[in-house]
Structures are given as structure tokens and as C-alpha cells.
Amino acid sequence: MALVQIQHQNNKLKSSFAPEKQNIPLVTHIITDDDMGILEGAKLHPVKLKKIFKLLTDPHSSMLYDRHVYTLNKMVQHYAKGIPMKDLVEMFKILNVCADRVEAITIYEKPILDILKLCSIPFLMEKTSDELVYEQIVVESISQLGYLMRIPTSDVRNQICVTLLNFTSKSGNNDLQKFKPTSLQFNKKVIENSDISETLVKSLALVENDLEIKLKLLEILQLFSKYSAKNCDQMLHVEAGRRICSRLMDTDPSGQLLFRSVDILWNLIENGNKSDLASQLNNMACISQLRDAFVYQMTQGHSHYDRQLRNDLLVIATLVAYQCPKAPFVETGFAKQLTLFATFQEVKSHNALVRHLKLATNHEDFELRKLLFNILVVLSNDKTVISILSEGHLLLALFSFVRANEQKTDPRELSLAQFEEIQLHAMAALCTLCPKMLEDYMTCQGSTRLLLLLEWCVGPEEFSGHGNSFHGTGGRGTKKSQMHYCLRLLRSVASTKDEIILQDMADQGAINQLIGLCTKWVLNTAFTQRNDQNDAIEIEMQSDILFILSCLCEQDLHRKELFGIQGVDMVIRYLRTDTRLLSSGLGHHKLLLTSIDCAWCSTVGCYVTEDYFLEKEGVFLLFDLLEVCPKNMHNIIIGCLLDLCENPKTVNHILAWRGKSGTSASHLLCELWRQDEIQIGVKRDSQGAITDLRRPLMGQIQADLGVIPLPASCVSQAIADVSENIRAKIYSLFCKMGFSDLPGLSLDDHVTLTIIEKYLDFKMGEVWSETIGELQLENVRPVTPDQEAMEAISRAIEERAVIVAATQQELIEAQKNQDVIDEQEFYAQMRENHRQKEKAIADFTQFVARTSNFQELKAAKEKQEISIDASRMHPINKQGDHFHDVSLPNLTSTVFSGKHVTVNESVKEKNTAPVIKFDPTLNALADRPLKHYTI
């Protein structure tokens, strides 16, 4: 305790000696702008709204109606400049109390109207953050405005509409101190987040008999749907499309009802979900209302506004027809009336609707024609509409535009640009309609009209296309657009493969005309060398021509003969296409595919064209394409080659072909087989040999699916596999080529070839295994003989797989042994090379020894003479009288001498490096310079 006291005294002592801190005076009050009196605007004093609410709801004062009205009027006067956000909750509580009592006590109507007028003014915020803090309160308050539509008073409902219109379209005035009005962006945002749109759509049912309020509601909905996709979604959620469209033709002398309703539907199309809107309009009531409104505007409308409204109605009907193919256009008679309006200008009709009707050349009537053609094309997806279109002679009306364009027109008729645009539009519509109405096509002599137009397109007549529309793209100043759609229409008709149509086209000379056009085209544009003169439209036209020729010649030998040598030359030019153009993005891949298809359909099957195709190296070109083209083109190329193999001359061409790196056709086919098996997931080892003896061909996808019991009419997985990949075609090609003595095969190719050779057996075993599995899944037991036969087949197929696997292993082992032998021979060759080098060094060493040591030279000479004597005839003959000795005496050399002697000598020349001392281990005899001396 004493220590603590001492420490406390020490601290006191220290503090007494410390410097004294200076006290800084603080200002304890703030002078605001309000105190200075510089704030502009009126001052808004707070009002105790809770007391007003208690006055209205308290049991003791709830019957004081006059006092209620007086208090509410004072409150309205107080908030004449706007309602603060913080007071919205209490304000709308008061408003709801008045709304609940107004039906019984009408004295509350005027305060309600006054409060609603206050709500039309943007709400007031005291701080910038109030928009975030009170956002949800404002959203709920706006929703409450919509709920007040339940009040059965026209003035209240009208004021609600006026309030909402002003709230979203007018900005507030900054006339109050410390308060600012909310922005229009904030007002629109809270409108979107509230459910006011849904409430107003539902309120339409409450004002069916009050046209003025109904028009006000439609005006608000028109405004809400114009700028907000969220509002459109809310309106569609409560079936706004059906509610509005079903009342299109209600009585309205002003005409605003139809206009505003159509504008709302148009906004829902642009900003909302089109499929939801179409499904809501897909009923008898809505389609009937659309029909009546369109017919009324078509027959009774004469102003620019009426024509625009008529076209908008037709666009809405087109949307319904496109999204809902089963919409009741036939049941309501709308389809028949549309056909009548689309054809009455070109096909005379005595119908009362069109008796005094005539379309002008103004923009709206011109657009109407195109819209009518378009909606009929969409409606043609319904088979029941086809008969109506046929009865209305729609094709005849459309074919009236399929003719050569004139240079001058009557002022009362369509202009040249308009005629060209509607001509192309009609031909585009015919591309869809003609395959569905072939009888009408023949009745209108469609092939003759089209071929005449095609002849005009390539003729010398001058014509400058305007290229104004979508269909006229790329045709400005030329006849390209007309030719484009003429060929497209011929293609759509030819694709039906109707024999009557094809025969009619052939009788009209279509084959020679198209071949001549395409041949001229290729020669003019040098297509196979460059692509700068060919755009996407020209390439599409060439593809269409080749496709039409394929359809014409596919099933008829006489037409293939008409195709002839000229057609084969044309196809050969296209097959020489540079494959680098396939990725140009202009459609060259389609052109190449149609070229191969044309070669297949128009050449194969006729001996004259086949032989000429082979003579022009057609097989070589197909294999060149097969080597470099994408995988999705392999199927059609191999199929064409397979059918060509029916000609016995084709196999020799296939065996003679060599690729870029010298690859043979058999090697290429084996490589394609392996790539196909990798893609489908067939189990193979690193050498390509079989690993699964029970399923040697099955891919991973097929194995994962397993066995699925299917009806007899359905194709099983094992059978579908044949058409889904190219293995069956490759097997068929090898059957034509043979499986032995094929050039250019590697070990992998031989291993793959053993599988290809047994493809049919393995596929048959796979089918049988699938059949047995299906029977087991269906709990079906075959009779004993069938069961034994199935087991025998399964064993035979598995044994065959074992044999193939063993053969593959033998091939692999033989290759390994051959590799070992080749390696040993390589090393032996290396050793022999070293042995020769060592012998050359030893010979040179002996040569130097003989030239530097006379004794060595004598010994070498004696050795040479002994060798020479041993190589000559028997010594007895040397003693004969006629023996001639050919040795030269006194010759001091150990080589066979003649007139010319070659002497090895190192020569030191001028201006060269000094002679290096000889090293017999580094220099060989062959490396030394030679000098020739003549004796």
C-alpha cells in the first residue's frame, strides 16, 4: 500500500513539471442556409399523417365525415407541390381507407381525386439516396394505384389513368426547400418493377362498357409497352394479347380503339416474347377479329393511315401463322380471303369484296402485295391450306411475274424497280409453293416459263437491275438476281424427284441448256484458278445447276446419254477445283459436293460417259479430293468410286493412282478406315490389332447404348452403324480391288486389311449377338434347333476373330523379325565399310614401305613374281620352243606397267599451306592428288 502511495505521489510530481496543454475553443453551433434566409422556394412543414389515419379509422371518430373531408383537404393543400417519399406509406393507407368507403359514402370521392392528382406529380426526395432507400415503397405505392381501379367510379378511374400518364411523361419543378423531385428515369423504373401493367390489363374487363376509360387504359398500356420489355412480359403474363385482340372491332366512332390496340400488339411483338403472343392469339375469336379488322381496312380504308394500319394487321397475322402452324385461318375463312386479295390483280375474280377494289402503286399497297405473298407462303405449311391456294389460282398469279423485264412501263402500273422487286419476291414464294402444288405447276407450264426466263437472263438483251430488295442483293446493273431465283426455283422443283416434272424439263431441253450455261460460266470465270470473279451468289447458282442436272439424270439412262461428253468435261473442270478455296466462306464446299454428286448421278451407269470420265482421269481426281478433303465429304466420294467400280476398267485406275507423297489407294483407304474407327471408339491396340474378340467392330457409343429391344420396323444399332460410317463402303471397294498383291502397304495397313477382309463376317456376328441379346431381354427362348444354330454361329464368329487376331500377331512378329534382320544387315554394312577403310590404310602403308626401303621392294617383287608364275600355265610348257616371255627385264616396280604410269605424289604448290607430316591413320590413298606421266 505504501508503494502505491509513493508511486501516485511521483506521478503527481511529474505532472506538475509537465508543460500545460493549450485549450482550443470549439464552435458549438452551425449556421445553415435556412438560418441565413438564402434558400429559394417554399418550405414544406411536416404533417402528422398518422393522426389523420387515426382520425379516419378510430371507432370514436370514424363517423365524423365532414371533419374527415376538411382534414383531407388541408392535407392536400399542404402537399400541393408533391408528396415526400417518406410519407408515401401513410398517404396510401389513407387513400385505401377512403377507397373502401367511397362506394357507400360518395363524399370521399373528391379527396380521392385530389390525392390522385398529387400522385401525378413526381415524388419528392430529401436526399439523393432516397431513390435507393425508398424504391421498394414507391414500387408498392404505384401498384396500389392500379388496385384503385376497383372503385366503380368513372372519374376516379379516369384520374388514375391521367395520374399514370403524367407520372411517366412529365418532370417535376424544384419549388421546395430541401426537396427535389424524382427523375423520369426513376419513375419509369418503378413502373417496370411494379405490377401496374398486369393490373391495368386485368382492368380492361371492368371498363368494357365505358369507351372513354377503355381508350385511356389502352393509351397507358401503349405508352408502357413502347419502351419497356419488362412491362411487355408482365402484360403477356396476364394474356394481354388475347384480351386486346379479342375486342379489336368493338364500336368506336373515333377509330382510336383499333389503332391503339394494334400499336400495343406491335409493341408486344417488338419487345416481348413472340411465341407467347402468338399462342395467345391462336384461337377462333382473335383470328376472327384480325380477319374482320383487315377486311374492313382493306375495303373501307383509303387514307395513308388506314393503309399502314392494314399492313400492321397483316404482319400480326403473319406472326401468328408462323409461330402457330395450326392456327384456325382455314376455319375462320381468313386464308381464303387472303388468297383472294393476293390474286385479284392478276387473276380476274367476281367476288364482291374485290369488285371495285384496286391497288395503287404507292409504297403501302406495294408492301401489301409482298406481305400477302409472304403470309400465304407461311400458311402453306398447313396441308389444308393447299387446296384453298389451288382454288384461288395462286401459282398462276405468281407466275404472271415470271417473264422478261420490260424497259418501259405504263405510269399507272408498277415502276421498273417495283416490278423487279415483286418479281423476285414472287419467285422466292414459288420456291416454297411449287413443290407442294405440282399439279398447278404443270398447269401453268412452269418449266417452260422458267427456261424462257433463264434464256433471257443469259441473252444479249440489255437490262440493268436495281437491286433494291433483299432478294435483289448483288444484282444491281445485271440480270444476276433473276437468274439466281430462276435456278433456285428449278432446283426446288427438281428436288421433288417427280418423274413427270423431270421428264417435262428434259423435253424442254433443260439438260443441254444448263450444261451450256455452266460450261460457258466456267470458261469465262476460270473458276478453278482464282475466286476473285466469283461471289457467293454466282457459286450458289453453279451449285444449283449441278444439282438440277443430278436430279434429271439420276434414274434415266437416256438423260445420262444426253448429258454426254460435254457434261463430263464440265464436271471434270469442277473436280479440278483448288481445295484451298473450300475455306473461303463463299460456298465452294457446296459447289464441290454438287460436282461430285453430279459426276455420280449423271456419269455413273452409262458406259459412254463412264469410259470418257475414266479417260479424263476422273478416278484420279476423286482420289486426289479424298486425300485432302474434310471428313464429311468422304462418304459421297467413296460411294461414287464404289459405283464406278462396276466398270471393270476402274480398278486399274485405282491401283495406278499415287498421292502427293507416293501413297497408294489401298494405303489411303486403310488410313481412312483407322481414322473412322478412332472416331467411333473401336478398341484397338497400338498396332491396330483386335483387342475385343467378342466385339471386333463395335464402337464405344454403340457399346454404351447396349442392346435395346426395338420393333421389327426399326433399324437396330448394328445395322444403323453400316450407314453411319464409311467402313462398309471401304470393304466393298476392297472386294473390287482384291485383298492381296496390293501396292504400297505398310505393316499397319496389313494389320488393318485383315480386319477389313472379315468385315462382313464380323458384322453378321454383331447382328446375331444383338438378336440374341434382344431375345434375352424380352425373355424369349428360341426352340432348341434355333438355339443350337445361334450358339454355333456365335462360336464360329468368335473363332474367326481369334484367327484374325493370330494372323495379326504373326504379321507383327514377322515385321519385328524383319526389323532385327535389317538392323543386323545395317551394322554388317557399317563393319564392311570400316574393313575397306582399314585395308586401304594398310595398302598405303605397304606402298610407302616399298618406296622407302629397297629390301622391302625386292621382297615384294619376288612375291609378285611367284604369284604371277603360279597363275600361269604349267611350267612344262615354258620349255617349249614357242613360249614367249612377256616379263620386262630390269623393271624396278611392283605394279603392272604399261605406257602410262600413275604416280602418287604430294606436290607443294605456291602460296599454299605447308605440307603436313603424313599420318597413315588419317589419310587414305584415295585422298592423295594424282599425277600422270607418259612413258
256-283 residue pLDDT tens: 999 999 999 999 999 999 999 999 999 9
Q: List C-alpha distances in Å: 547 to 58, 260, 446, 544, 568.
A: 88, 50, 19, 5, 14
**Contact residues for 379 (Cβ-Cβ < 8 A; gap 6+):** 321, 329, 335, 338, 385, 389
User: What is the spatial distance between Cα 431 and Cα 166, in angstroms, rounded to a whole number?
Assistant: 52
Contact (Cβ atoms closer than 8 angstroms) between residue 358 and residue 306:
no
User: What is the spatial distance between Cα 804 and Cα 812, in angstroms, rounded to a whole number?
Assistant: 12
Region 364-369: mean pLDDT is 92
Whole-number percent of the chain with pLDDT over 70: 85
Q: What is the pLDDT of residue 520?
A: 79
User: What is the spatial distance between Cα 172 and Cα 166, in angstroms, rounded to a whole number?
Assistant: 10
Residue 929 has pLDDT above 60, yes or no: no
Contact (Cβ atoms closer than 8 angstroms) between residue 492 and residue 435:
yes
Region 109-120: mean pLDDT is 91
**432-441, 514-523, 535-544, 585-594 — most confident range:** 432-441
Largest pairwise CA distance in the chain: 178
- 362 vs 854, which has greater pLDDT? 362
866-904 residue pLDDT tens: 887 777 666 555 555 566 666 666 666 666 555 565 655
User: What is the spatial distance between Cα 864 and Cα 271, in angstroms, rounded to a whole number?
Assistant: 114
Q: Is 797 exposed, middle or buried (0-12, 13-18, 19+ CB in 10 A)?
A: buried
User: What is the spatial distance between Cα 661 and Cα 609, in angstroms, rounded to a whole number?
Assistant: 30
Q: What is the pLDDT of residue 917?
A: 47
Q: What is the pLDDT of residue 504?
A: 93
Contact (Cβ atoms closer than 8 angstroms) between residue 146 and residue 102:
no
Q: What is the pLDDT of residue 19?
A: 47
Q: Is 245 exposed, middle or buried (0-12, 13-18, 19+ CB in 10 A)?
A: buried
DSSP 275-336: HHHHHHH-SHHHHHHHHHHHHHHHHH--SHHHHHHHHHHHHHHHHHHHH-TT-TTTTTTHHH
User: What is the spatial distance between Cα 758 and Cα 801, in angstroms, rounded to a whole number?
Assistant: 9
Quick one: pLDDT band at residue 714, thresholds 50, 70, 90? confident
Q: What is the pLDDT of residue 879?
A: 58
Q: What is the pLDDT of residue 915?
A: 46
**Contact residues for 627 (Cβ-Cβ < 8 A; gap 6+):** 659, 660, 663, 668
Quick one: pLDDT band at residue 373, thresholds 50, 70, 90? very high
User: What is the spatial distance between Cα 868 and Cα 561, in angstroms, rounded to a whole number?
Assistant: 83
Q: What is the pLDDT of residue 21?
A: 52
Q: What is the pLDDT of residue 354?
A: 87
Region 231-255: mean pLDDT is 91
Q: What is the pLDDT of residue 885?
A: 64
Q: What is the pLDDT of residue 687?
A: 79
Q: What is the pLDDT of residue 913?
A: 47
446-494 residue pLDDT tens: 999 999 999 988 888 877 666 667 676 766 777 888 898 999 999 999 9
φ and ψ at 176, to 5 degrees?
-115, 150
Q: Supply the mean pLDDT for the chain.
A: 83
Residue 10 has pLDDT above 70, yes or no: no
Q: What is the pLDDT of residue 842?
A: 87
Read off the amino acid at residue 11.
Answer: N
Quick one: pLDDT band at residue 934, thresholds 50, 70, 90? very low
**Contact residues for 685 (Cβ-Cβ < 8 A; gap 6+):** 691
User: What is the spatial distance between Cα 459 and Cα 732, in angstroms, rounded to a whole number?
Assistant: 47
- 424 vs 410, which has greater pLDDT? 424
Contact (Cβ atoms closer than 8 angstroms) between residue 676 and residue 725:
yes
Q: What is the pLDDT of residue 931?
A: 43
Q: What is the pLDDT of residue 13?
A: 37
Q: Is 823 exposed, middle or buried (0-12, 13-18, 19+ CB in 10 A)?
A: exposed
730-753 residue pLDDT tens: 999 999 998 888 888 888 888 889
- 13 vs 201, which has greater pLDDT? 201
323-358 residue pLDDT tens: 999 999 999 999 999 999 999 988 888 888 888 888
Q: What is the pLDDT of residue 475?
A: 67
User: What is the spatial distance between Cα 418 and Cα 370, in angstroms, rounded to a whole number?
Assistant: 11
Region 588-595: mean pLDDT is 90
* 664 secondary structure, DSSP code: B
Q: What is the pLDDT of residue 127?
A: 85
- 716 vs 670, which has greater pLDDT? 670
For residue 146, the tally of other CB atoms under 10 A from its CB is 20
Quick one: pLDDT band at residue 797, thresholds 50, 70, 90? confident
Region 160-186: mean pLDDT is 84
User: What is the spatial distance between Cα 219 and Cα 25, in angstroms, rounded to a whole number?
Assistant: 65
Whole-number percent of the chain with pLDDT over 90: 41
* 917 secondary structure, DSSP code: P
Q: What is the pLDDT of residue 420?
A: 86
